[in-house]
Homo-oligomer: A and B are copies of this chain.
Amino acid sequence: MSLPSYVGSMRGRDFINTNDFTQEEISEIIKAAMDLREKFRAGVPTNYLPGKTLFMLFYNRSLRTRNSFEAGMHQLGGHAHFLSPQDVYTPTLPEDMIPYQTEAISDVARVLSRYGNAIAIRIYGDAAKWFIGRGNRVILEFAKWSDVPVLNMEDDIYHPFQALADMMAIMQVAPKPRGKKFVVSYAYSGGLKPLAVPQSCVLIGTQFGMDVVLAHPPGFELEDHVIKAAKENADRYGGSFTIVNDMKEAFRDADFVYPKAWSPKRYFPPYNSKVDKDGAVEYQNKFKNWICTPELMDLTNRGKYMHCGPADRGQEVVDEVIDNSSYSLYFEQAENRLHVQKAVMSMVMG
């Protein structure tokens, strides 16, 4: 079997934030993913990582991420370990160590580096003590000590593989996304969700020159460093980045809408002195009218509905939207996860 040229083309690199890569590099990844999707559907073997091991460390539960990484590694000829923190001595930042229950990330990363070929981590929310950025710091600490690539399976700032899958879904509809209107909107959920998805969405949208509109009620601002990076992307790549506080206004003439819950950050450190989940829930409960309906979809430019999944049906979106295949990219986005992840793994582990 001859190897495609993308195998090993980014050997050794971490994948933590899409914005660490150029537009060209992200395009290469999506192109590789399209090749892998075609081969998967045609039943063509893609034995590009034989004997290779991926360690997957899940501090949070997962359906799509775990199964797409594990199946993906097998489809590439490799193998993924599913690791729950309770099965190992939980890898932990220096300030959070508990004797005999945790082990320093520095040690875990160095040991695993000698057994296999990449380390993938998911950590946010309770697992990161709701101190926004602590999950990302765990991943950066792994990256600091690991000799093999570190992959971000979602932390409390970024969800880069989701953003790749989303851009791939966008490009299936609009091969040249530049200039298309992409609305990343708050939508209500009673649960507390991280900022990772909307933040990675606005970054990758602006990186591809889209006209990105971020819509949310007051209090749901994204982090300043992300806003800044999105604006810089817009300037560099010829798109725009706008923030509005009105879902209806945002949806008007949109090509793609991504209504999705996240939590108001001012109830959590470092934006608050303590973790105030009750305050956050009480506040977000004022915005139950931020729900994606067919009426809102009618305002768009025959726009497509997007969501990373799992969507909270009846809160973020009604069934008539998410299950309408003329609107909804929901299952395409989920499917693309498999292929973008296989692409990145082939490129950095090959």
Interface residues of A (CB under 8 A from B): 45-47, 50-51, 53, 55, 58, 61-64, 66-68, 70-72, 74-75, 77-79, 81-84, 86-89, 99-100, 103-104, 107-108, 110-112, 114-116, 189-191, 309-313, 315, 331, 334-335, 338
Residues on the B chain within 8 Å of A68, using CB:
115
Residues of the B chain whose Cβ atoms lie less than 8 Å from the Cβ of A72? 115
CA A84 to CA B88, docked complex, whole Å: 12
CB within 8 Å for A100 and B312 given contacts A64-B111, A88-B62: yes
The residue in chain B whose Cβ has the minimal distance to the Cβ of A116 is B71
Which B residue's beta carbon lies closest to that of A100?
B191
The verdict on A87 contacting B74 (CB below 8 Å), with A67-B116, A111-B309 known, is no
| Extra inter-chain contacts (18) besides given A66-B83, A67-B112, A71-B116, CB under 8 Å | A51-B75, A51-B77, A58-B87, A61-B86, A61-B89, A63-B103, A63-B108, A63-B111, A63-B112, A66-B81, A66-B87, A67-B81, A70-B81, A74-B78, A84-B87, A107-B311, A114-B334, A115-B338
Residues of B within 8 A of A111 (CB): 63-64, 67, 309, 331, 334-335
Q: List 13 A-B contacts (CB under 8 A).
A: A53-B71, A58-B87, A63-B88, A63-B103, A66-B87, A66-B88, A67-B112, A74-B79, A81-B82, A99-B191, A103-B310, A107-B311, A111-B335
Report the bound CA distance from A116 to B70 in whole Å.
10
- Nearest B residue to A76 via CB reads B51
Which residues of B sit under 8 angstroms from A81, Cβ to Cβ? 66-67, 70-71, 82
Question: Which B residues are in CB contact (< 8 Å) with A189?
Answer: 99-100
Q: Which residue of B lies closest to A74 (CB)?
A: B79
Q: Which 6 pairs across A and B sit closest by C-beta, in order of nearness?
A: A100-B191, A74-B79, A114-B335, A53-B71, A63-B88, A71-B115
> How many angstroms between the C-alpha atoms of A297 and B51 in the bound complex?
40
Least distance between A227 CB and chain B CB atoms (Å): 27
A63 to B81, CA, bound (A): 11
CB within 8 Å for A51 and B58 given contacts A71-B115, A87-B84: no
Question: Closest CB of chain B to A135's CB: distance in Å?
Answer: 18
Q: Cα distance A81–B72 when bound, in Å?
A: 12
What residue in chain B is nearest A62 (Cβ atoms)?
B88
Measured CB to CB, the closest approach of chain B to A274, in angstroms, equals 22
Nearest CB in chain B to that of A73: its residue: B79
Provide the bound-state CA to CA distance between A67 and B115, in Å. 7
With a CB–CB cut-off of 8 A, which chain B residues contact A89?
A: 61, 63, 310
Report the bound CA distance from A89 to B65 in whole Å: 12
Task: Give the distance in Å from the alpha carbon of A83 to the alpha carbon of B68 in the complex.
Answer: 13
User: What is the CB-to-nearest-CB distance from A187 to chain B, in angstroms, rounded to a whole number?
Assistant: 14
Minimum C-beta distance from A122 to chain B (A): 11
How near does chain B come to A269, taking the closest CB pair, in angstroms?
A: 22
- B residues less than 8 Å from A83 (CB atoms): 66-67
